[in-house]
Amino acid sequence: MSELSVDHLLGIRGLTRDDLELIFKTASEFKEVLNRPIKKVPSLRDLTVANLFFENSTRTRLSFELAQKRLSADVVNFSAASSSVKKGETLVDTVNNILAMKVDMVVMRHPHPGAHHFLSGKVSTTIINAGDGTHEHPTQALLDAFSLREKLGNDLEGKRIAIVGDIRHSRVALSNILALKLLGAEVRVCGPATLIPKHMISMGVEISHDLDETLIWADVVNMLRIQLERQGDANSIPFFPSIREYTMNFGLTQERLNRLDKQLTILHPGPINRGVEISSEIADSDHSLILNQVENGVATRMAVMYLLAKR
Ligand code: CP
């Protein structure tokens, strides 16, 4: 197979296992390019890509922009905070105005789940989801799986991967579950009951509220940050009593890892709340793939844009 089965990357849902394998193979080729002295190829020389960020980002935004530049695309960046969205312009009008300037592909992060699906039915361009609210973050899941395959080997069949923390508010969790299940891994989510949504039961994943038991079960732990910005206002009922209690029950510490008779591989999508869901000692340890994930994000996003442009 040399082509993706989709015209947009709206989510991991909708992709096939063959799509994932093609993206990983292409990303490996681009990673080899990124390790050369001249890190640039002309693959998207005639393409103009707009990065539309309606929500904050460090890693995803810079990673997409670098990937576009490494592929020789022309790039324009849009930040909602300094745009005419503030004057009341709709999403469709904003995007159609940008497309009128002869833009070929849109990479978008938006706070509303489903914004990309909505947009793909309204405008005529290739759309890549760089995160839609609490729904999906497909390129994060792709780069996470790519990083795991580098570390554990290409076959993730039967590997036990625990996703720990604020599952309720995490787009990374849903995309990771979908990708890892497609690749044959066993997946467990672990966190306080209030932060694990009921629909997880129908996703074929195990559910646990006990981090220590989960660490015994797992080969890999993907630690998610508490999304403090999505925990509601001061009048809402909190999802957990205090940060201190959350860390006592669900924080990954060296003390916890020392009780195991094995080495776990540690993932975190970033940004990290050091000392909350993960200690600095672990985040910076040899078993943490955090910076490998960031490095692999560029090659993975190059692969996604290249393969979608081919269609
Ligand atoms: N992992 C991730 O999406 O990070 P940013 O929010 O900084 O893009």
Q: How confident is the model at residue 69 (pLDDT cuts 50, 70, 90)?
A: very high
27, 293 Cβ separation under 8 angstroms: no
pLDDT of residue 82: 80
Could you tell me which residues are beta bridge partners of residue 288?
A: 266
pLDDT at 1 > cutoff 80: no
CATH fold, domain 17-136+294-310, is: Rossmann fold (3.40.50)
Neighbours of 263 (CB within 10 A): 11
3-state SS assignment for residue 134: coil
Please say if 13 is a catalytic residue.
Answer: no
pLDDT of residue 118: 96
**CB 140 less than 6 A from any atom of ligand 1:** yes
Q: Which position among 8, 109, 168, 301 bears the catalytic label?
A: 109
Tens of pLDDT, residues 31-48: 999 999 999 999 999 999
pLDDT of residue 233: 65
Average pLDDT estimate for 278-291: 97
Average pLDDT of every residue of the chain: 95
Alpha carbons 167 and 280: distance in angstroms, whole number: 22
Residue nearest to atom 6 of ligand 1 (CA): 57
Q: Which position among 137, 149, 159, 171 bears the catalytic label?
A: 137
**CB 60 less than 6 A from any atom of ligand 1:** yes
Neighbours of 131 (CB within 10 A): 26
Residue nearest to atom 4 of ligand 1 (CA): 59
Tens of pLDDT, residues 143-201: 999 999 999 999 999 999 999 999 999 999 999 999 999 999 999 999 999 999 999 98
Average pLDDT estimate for 87-96: 93
Closest ligand 1 atom to residue 130 Cα is 3
Please say if 36 is a catalytic residue.
Answer: no
Please say if 17 is a catalytic residue.
Answer: no
Q: Tokens 């009341």 identify what position? A: 88
CA distances from 102 to 42, 76, 95, 105, 180 (A): 19, 11, 11, 9, 37
Enumerate the CATH 3.40.50.1370 domain ranges in the chain, comma separated.
Answer: 17-136+294-310, 138-293
Average pLDDT estimate for 228-240: 69
Please say if 137 is a catalytic residue.
Answer: yes
Fill in the amino acid letter for 176. N
Alpha carbons 69 and 46: distance in angstroms, whole number: 12
- The candidate with the shortest Cα–Cα distance to 288, out of 277, 301, 302, 299, is 277
Fill in the amino acid letter for 112. H
Residue 207 Cα to ligand 1 middle (Å): 25
Alpha carbons 46 and 42: distance in angstroms, whole number: 9
Q: Tokens 């660490």 identify what position? A: 215
Q: Tokens 């509601």 identify what position? A: 232
To the nearest whole percent, how much of the chain has pLDDT over 70?
97
Architecture of domain 138-293: 3-Layer(aba) Sandwich (3.40)
pLDDT of residue 239: 82
Please say if 109 is a catalytic residue.
Answer: yes
pLDDT of residue 231: 67
Both tokens of 201, joined, read 């039961």
pLDDT of residue 230: 67
Could you tell me which residues are beta bridge partners of residue 48?
A: 74
Alpha carbons 76 and 153: distance in angstroms, whole number: 37
297, 143 Cβ separation under 8 angstroms: yes
Tens of pLDDT, residues 246-272: 999 999 999 999 999 999 999 999 999
pLDDT at 240 > cutoff 70: yes
pLDDT of residue 37: 96
pLDDT of residue 235: 64
Average pLDDT estimate for 50-75: 97
Q: Which position among 8, 26, 31, 60 bears the catalytic label?
A: 60
To the nearest whole percent, how much of the chain has pLDDT over 90?
89
